Amino acid sequence: MKTEIIKITDTAYGGSGVGRNAEGKAVFVPFTVTGDIVSAKTTQDKGSYETAELVEVKEPSPLRTEPRCIYHGVCGGCHFGHIRYDKQLEIKENILKQALRNHPQKTGLPEIAVFTGKTTDYRIRANVRALNGNVGFYKGGSNKFVPVKQCPAIKHELFSKCAAWAEKYSPDTICSLSVVENPIGEAIALIEGKGSLPCVNTEKPFDGVKCGAEQYGIKHLPYKTPFGVAPVGYGGFFQSNIFLNDIFQKYAAESATGQKILELYAGSGFFTSALAKKADVFAVEANAEAALLGQKYGYPINHGHTASAEIKKGQYDTVFADPPREGMDKKTISALMELAPDQIIYVSCNPMTLARDLNRLSGKYAISATAIFDLFPDTYHIETVVLLEQII
């Protein structure tokens, strides 16, 4: 593959810097930023564009900073770790604006509010790997194990628990640990992998462990929020930023003004705990285990599909939706258009599927507020809350 000199002029969603080669073709180069002049080696020619790996920064951009992590560029995470934090926020805001640029709203889109918190020791949910006594991650774009002694993103105490478990129990084949810790320091781990795995009941480092059909210690993790306790199951999704979770929950839930709320993609109750404090809530979750866990904590979470007949029969002032990265499917969008609530609150972790779904809803709904919560500093991930009001 060829090596070329590329001037980086933009940053794409996914974390790569973007420039053009001598032929005028767009080239995507990870770990670069606008203003860099770099030497890059082509890895794939996609026809209309190329991907490349960074060989050398010939002339660094003034937007660069020294990465806080010694494994930056080696481990597969933190694609923005080399970029000044103020610029990271600007990049994320611009990516969202670009994603929404084709939205047909005639009155123009509202300004984007940005919420930030501490940029290290913030992750209380993580997926790490373990092998031969070491904890680590996969190298970016590969399944090569990279052992690490620290991770500035993960809460220090939680990382230490992972390292302690790996040192004592990890096998000679790679296994994964899906871990989560609550604000009082209780932690659970889902252990997965091939071959024989040590699924043991250890008081330390974890308060609960699940491995295959075996489970030891606590069955789920109680996470206290300002509005109530939300349960976290083994391997279940949960918000990751200990410094912003409460603010994120409060902002999103308090945007709901209806007296009867339909919550879609409810999980085990993170947002339900707040919504139920202010209105009559009917919540739906496709994952049966998560729905049951939420029910055990007293939340009105029903197991079912987001476009089910039961939903269509209801009358709701507000719909609150927090879909996965894939966004809403067409059946759910159609159900929402038929249901026609006064207000929709859309929580998104993917600006591209968010923009697609907002366009599909634009015939009946206008965007009245947009906010970014930087739950994942030093990464390209963007968490957004959008408030939609029915067009009268």
Coil, strand, or helix at residue 195? coil
Statement: residue 381 has pLDDT above 80: yes
Asked whether residue 110 falls in the same domain as residue 167, the answer is: no
260-317 per-position pLDDT tens digit: 999 999 999 999 999 999 999 999 999 999 999 999 999 999 998 887 766 767 789 9
On the CB side of 59, how many CA atoms lie within 13 Å of its CA?
8
Query: How confident is the model at residue 307, as a pLDDT?
Result: 74
| Spatial contact of 322 and 284, defined as CB atoms under 8 Å apart | no
173-208 per-position pLDDT tens digit: 899 999 999 999 999 999 998 866 666 655 579 999
19 is a domain residue:
yes
Coil, strand, or helix at residue 296? helix
Distances (CA, A) of 181 to 290, 298, 319: 17, 22, 30
Query: How confident is the model at residue 187, as a pLDDT?
Result: 96
Asked whether residue 257 falls in the same domain as residue 380, the answer is: yes
Asked whether residue 280 falls in the same domain as residue 260, the answer is: yes
Tally of domains within the chain: 3
Asked whether residue 255 falls in the same domain as residue 385, the answer is: yes
212-260 per-position pLDDT tens digit: 888 889 999 999 999 999 999 998 888 999 999 999 999 999 999 999 9
* 235 vs 139: CA distance, rounded Å: 22
Asked whether residue 21 falls in the same domain as residue 168, the answer is: no
The answer to whether the peptide bond before residue 205 is cis (omega within 30 degrees of 0) is yes
30-50 per-position pLDDT tens digit: 999 999 999 999 999 999 999
* 89 vs 72: CA distance, rounded Å: 19
232 is a domain residue:
no
Q: What is the mean pLDDT of the chain?
A: 93
178 is a domain residue:
yes
Catalytic machinery residues: 349, 383
234 is a domain residue:
no
Q: What CATH number should be reported for the domain holding residue 53? A: 2.40.50.140
- Answer with the one of 191, 223, 255 that is the final residue of a domain: 223
pTM assigned to the model:
0.95
Q: Helix 330-339 crosses helix 351-361 at what angle (to 10 degrees)? A: 40
Asked whether residue 328 falls in the same domain as residue 368, the answer is: yes
131 is a domain residue:
yes
The closest alpha carbon to 125, from 162, 171, 164, belongs to 162
Distances (CA, A) of 215 to 23, 193, 200, 232: 57, 15, 8, 15
Asked whether residue 259 falls in the same domain as residue 378, the answer is: yes
Tell me the residue range of the domain where 279 lies.
86-118+242-390
Cβ partners under 8 Å of residue 203, min gap 6? 217
